[in-house]
C-alpha cells in the first residue's frame, strides 16, 4: 500500500496530470474563442454586406489569433500519439475538402448540382475531421 502511494505522488504522475490539465484548459479556451468569434459573426447575420467592415476585420483577426494560439498551446501539451491522431485527422479533413470541393465544382459545371456552398463545405470538412479524430481515439 505504501508503494502505490509513492507511485501516485511521483513526479511523472504529477507531470502527466499537469499536462492533461493544460490540454483541457487549452481545449476549453479554444472553444470559448471560437464561440466568441461565432457570436461576432452572427451579430452581422452572416449575409454579404450585413456586417460593418470594422467588425469583419476584428472577426478575422480574432479568429487568426485564436487558431494560432490554440495550435501553439495544443502542440506544447500533447504527446506523440496525440500528434499522430491530429495529423491523420487533419490530413483526412484536407483530403475530404479537396475531393468534395472539386467534385461539387465539376458536377455543378455539368448542371447536375447547384453551385458549391462555402459554408456547407466548411462545416462538412469540420465534421469529417472530428469524426476521423473520434474514430482514431476510439480505436486506441
- Per-residue pLDDT reduced to its tens digit, 27-54: 787 778 777 766 766 665 556 667 778 8
- What pTM was estimated for this model as a whole? 0.65
DSSP states of the chain:
-HHHHHHHTSHHHHHHHHHHHHHHHHHHHHHHHHHHHHHHHHHTTTSTT-S-HHHHHHHHHHHHHHHHHHHHHHHHH--HHHHHHHHHHHHHHHHHHHHHHHHHHHHHHTTSSPPP-HHHHHHHHHHHHHHHHHHHHHH-
Q: pLDDT at residue 2 above 60? A: no
Domain ranges in the chain are 1-78, 79-140
- Find the mean pLDDT for residues 116-134: 91
Q: What is the pLDDT of residue 44?
A: 55
Q: What is the pLDDT of residue 8?
A: 64
Q: What is the pLDDT of residue 56?
A: 77
45/64: higher pLDDT: 64
Q: What is the pLDDT of residue 1?
A: 47
52/122: higher pLDDT: 122
- Find the mean pLDDT for residues 102-113: 93
65/49: higher pLDDT: 65
Across the chain, mean pLDDT equals 81
pLDDT, one tens digit per residue, over 8-27 is 667 777 777 777 787 777 77
Amino acid at each position: 500500500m505504501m508503494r502505490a502511494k509513492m507511485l501516485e505522488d511521483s513526479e511523472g504522475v504529477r507531470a502527466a496530470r499537469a499536462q492533461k490539465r493544460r490540454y483541457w484548459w487549452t481545449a476549453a479556451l479554444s472553444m470559448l474563442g471560437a464561440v466568441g468569434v461565432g457570436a461576432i459573426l452572427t451579430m452581422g447575420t452572416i449575409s454579404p454586406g450585413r456586417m460593418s467592415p470594422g467588425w469583419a476585420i476584428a472577426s478575422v483577426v480574432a479568429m487568426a489569433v485564436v487558431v494560432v494560439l490554440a495550435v501553439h498551446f495544443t502542440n506544447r501539451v500533447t504527446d506523440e500519439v496525440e500528434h499522430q491522431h491530429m495529423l491523420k485527422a487533419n490530413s483526412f479533413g484536407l483530403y475530404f475538402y479537396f475531393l468534395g470541393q472539386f467534385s461539387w465544382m465539376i458536377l455543378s459545371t455539368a448542371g447536375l448540382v447547384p453551385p458549391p456552398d462555402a459554408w456547407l463545405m466548411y462545416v462538412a470538412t469540420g465534421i469529417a475531421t472530428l469524426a476521423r479524430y473520434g474514430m482514431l481515439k476510439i480505436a486506441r
